[in-house]
Chain A
Amino acid sequence: GESVGLHLPTLSVQEGDNSIINCAYSNSASDYFIWYKQESGKGPQFIIDIRSNMDKRQGQRVTVLLNKTVKHLSLQIAATQPGDSAVYFCAEKKTDKLIFGTGTRLQVFP
């Protein structure tokens, strides 16, 4: 079956360090992936996306890497800040809908 899963449910990092959140997917036909950030009590907020014809895309302090060979997606956050504390979801576009993973909780400690 198709699924989008995450390796770690919780990631704790020290403020200023880099964070890496991983995601595995099983549908090799997927052509579009998105990372969302969800703070407590709020809706998901778009962070960055990547199409399958790319293997890397950079934004402000964030980088998404796509490895189609092993069906792996990662989100790198540089110089992690307390405001980055949230749950991060990867999502895979399947026709008109998004298939979400279960999420990784990022905790930033001083």
Chain B
Amino acid sequence: NAGVMQNPRHLVRRRGQEARLRCSPMKGHSHVYWYRQLPEEGLKFMVYLQKENIIDESGMPKERFSAEFPKEGPSILRIQQVVRGDSAAYFCASSPRDGTYEQYFGPGTRLTVT
């Protein structure tokens, strides 16, 4: 039973480029969460999605960031026109139900903006 999968594990982008981070939830899970972690800090919630729906995006920056979880395929976190401050580890988690149960985390994507 595969866990949460994220790819790529490491991503390097130059300022102004786009970054696309992918997350495949655990089998049978229909709820996906994205978190961002800066070095030596805790994880900060960004967005919560169900299939084809954004449920809570209160942690998403207003500009340049977007997320989707289509009916088929992985969830995508997209960052347009990246800046150095976007450098961080981005973690995806999934759960079988709505917030009530534990969230299982993927290995993360480490984004470096040069």
Contacts and interface: CB of A to CB of B under 8 A. Distances in A.
B56 A95 contact: yes
B105 A97 contact: no
A110 B98 CA distance: 43
Contacts of B100: 32
Contact of B42 (A41, A95, A97, A103): A103
Interface in A69-97: 89, 93, 95-97
Contacts of B102: 34, 46, 49
Interface in B89-114: 91, 93, 98-100, 102-108
A43 interface: yes
B12 interface: no
A11 interface: no
Interface residues of A, number: 22
A97 B106 CA distance: 16
Contacts of A89: 42-43
A32 to B, nearest CB: 8
Interface in B34-54: 35, 40-45, 48
A4 B56 CA distance: 20
Most chain A CB inside 10 Å of its own CB: which residue of B42, B102, B103, B106? B42
Nearest to B99: A96
B44 A100 contact: yes
Contact of A96 (B42, B55, B107): B55
B99 A97 contact: yes
Nearest to B47: A97
Interface of A: 4, 32, 34, 36, 41-46, 49, 89, 93, 95-103
Interface of B: 4, 33, 35, 40-45, 48, 55-56, 58-59, 91, 93, 98-100, 102-108
28 contacts: A4-B42, A36-B105, A41-B107, A43-B4, A43-B91, A43-B93, A43-B106, A43-B107, A44-B43, A45-B105, A46-B102, A46-B103, A46-B104, A49-B102, A89-B43, A93-B99, A96-B48, A96-B56, A97-B45, A97-B59, A97-B99, A98-B33, A98-B43, A98-B45, A98-B103, A100-B42, A100-B43, A101-B42
